[in-house]
Amino acid sequence: MKTLLILLISPFVILGQKTAFWETKLYFEDGLGNKDSITIGHDLKSNGNFNPDFGEINIKEEPWNSVFEVRASHNEAAHNLASPKVLSKKIIGTTEAGLHPTYNCLFVREPLKAFVKIKALPLKISWDSTRHSGFCNKKDFLTPHILPLIFPNWFDDPEFIENPPFVCLSEKGSFIIDNFTEKTNGFVDYIIDKYNGVEIDTIYGLLISFRTESSSNSPCSGTVDVKDIIKNELDVNLYPNPTSHTINLEILESLTWQLYDNQGRFVKNGVEHMIDIQNMNDGMYLLKIKIKDRIIVKKIIKSS
């Protein structure tokens, strides 16, 4: 009887699941040869929250594999004090426009994120580069930085980060990340799991951004070479960080600053070397500091 019920229900389940207008797969492998994959895509009828009709299954509350696992999410806030509402092996993003009138493809699309639990680096990511050819995907890129969500032309300002790691998905078929240190991946999204206040796991994030051939907000134009990026010798020390009240900027030069939340929304600005954040919500913030003709971006953690 149970078998008969499954046979009767299955066709409706299969028929009820939609195929996205555009889909592709990303393959992941750790330093020990463990493998995993996620499916990402976009569709006109998708939303930016949760789409079970497109095959999204929320496994956020399920324990991560202790050694290696990858999950994807929509473009939601995710840092050490927050996490996405939905984590799934398949994420179909939303689009803010219809089909391109000439190329018949989706051209304004939600960025997506992948989160990786990894014990053995390096991390190798592979994909089918032909899925990123054509007008609407020509300048798609992947990066472990959150900066593209904060400052659209981040790659034009070498003072932001030194040697920013990114890969153009139409130009290569794989990408290797040797580490996720604060120095080389200073603005990576991450989730820290804690038990009784003790950190037990760190889960790193990757941003996948979708850009058309005519987009100016992508480093995949052939004009940017990370080898030509100038090393930023000017730095600003912040203390204490994390903090619950105020944060000090340790540098003698005059400066101006702007503070943004983790979604890129402007919070406040000033010229002081001490910033009062005691009335702000807990979470991660990005501080954009301008000193003469140099720009430095620092991460601030507000924790009560």
Supply the pLDDT for residue 232. Answer: 41
Identify the pLDDT of residue 227: 32
- Quick check: 141 pLDDT over 60? yes
* Whether residues 258 and 294 fall in one domain: yes
Tell me, what's the pLDDT at 223? 38
pLDDT greater at residue 154 or residue 172: 172
For residues 51 and 163, state if they share a domain: yes
Provide φ and ψ at 173, rounded to 5°.
Answer: -115, 0
Range in 7-11, 236-240, 244-248 with the lowest mean pLDDT = 7-11
Lowest-pLDDT choice from 7-11, 76-80, 169-173, 206-210: 7-11
- Residue 221 clears pLDDT 80, i.e. is over it: no
In this structure, the answer to whether residues 205 and 130 fall within a common structural domain is: yes
Domain total in the chain: 2
User: Does one domain contain both 224 and 241?
Assistant: no
For residues 302 and 240, what is the distance between their CA atoms, to the nearest angstrom? 10
Q: Mean pLDDT score of the chain, rounded to an integer?
A: 81
- What is the C-alpha to C-alpha distance for residues 222 and 170, in angstroms, rounded to an integer? 12
* E-state strands within the chain: 22-29, 35-42, 68-73, 90-93, 112-118, 123-127, 141-143, 167-168, 174-177, 190-195, 198-209, 237-239, 246-250, 256-261, 266-270, 274-276, 283-291, 294-302
Query: Of the residues 162, 197, 228, which one is the last residue of a structural domain?
Result: 228
> Which pLDDT does position 71 carry in this prediction?
96
pLDDT on residue 65: 93
Evaluate if residue 225 carries a pLDDT over 50.
no
Residue 168 sits in the same domain as residue 58 = yes
Statement to judge: residues 119 and 9 lie in one domain: yes
> Of 194, 228, 262, which residue is a domain's last?
228
Q: How far is the C-alpha of 274 from the C-alpha of 292, rounded, in Å? A: 19
Do both 86 and 188 map to the same domain? yes
- Same domain for 212 and 76: yes
Among residues 228, 255, 274, the one where a domain terminates is 228
Select the more confidently predicted residue: 152 or 136: 136
Residues 297 and 193 in one domain: no
Q: Quick: pLDDT tens for 12-25.
A: 444 567 899 999 99
Percentage of the chain lying above the pLDDT 70 cut: 76
CATH number for 291: 2.60.40.1930
Residue 69: pLDDT band with limits 50, 70, 90: very high
pLDDT value at residue 88: 97
> In the prediction, which pLDDT does 98 show?
86
Mean pLDDT (whole number) for 117-139: 94
What are the phi and psi torsion angles at 292 (to 5°)?
60, -120
Q: How far apart are CA 302 and CA 280, in angstroms?
A: 8
50 shares its domain with 187: yes
pLDDT for 161:
53
pLDDT, average across residues 26-38: 97
Range of the domain at 93: 2-228
155: tokens are 């790659």
Q: Name the nearest CA neighbour of 177 among 30, 40, 299, 38.
A: 30
Q: Nearest-5° angle of CA 213, CA 219, CA 222?
A: 70
pTM exceeds cut of 0.85:
no
Q: How confident is the model at residue 196 (pLDDT cuts 50, 70, 90)?
A: low
Residues 153, 197 within the same domain: yes
Same domain, 14 and 163: yes
- Compute the average pLDDT of residues 287-297: 79
Structure tokens at 135: 């007008």
DSSP assignment string, 80-119? TTB--S--BSEEEE-BSS-B-TTT-SB-SB--EEEEEEES
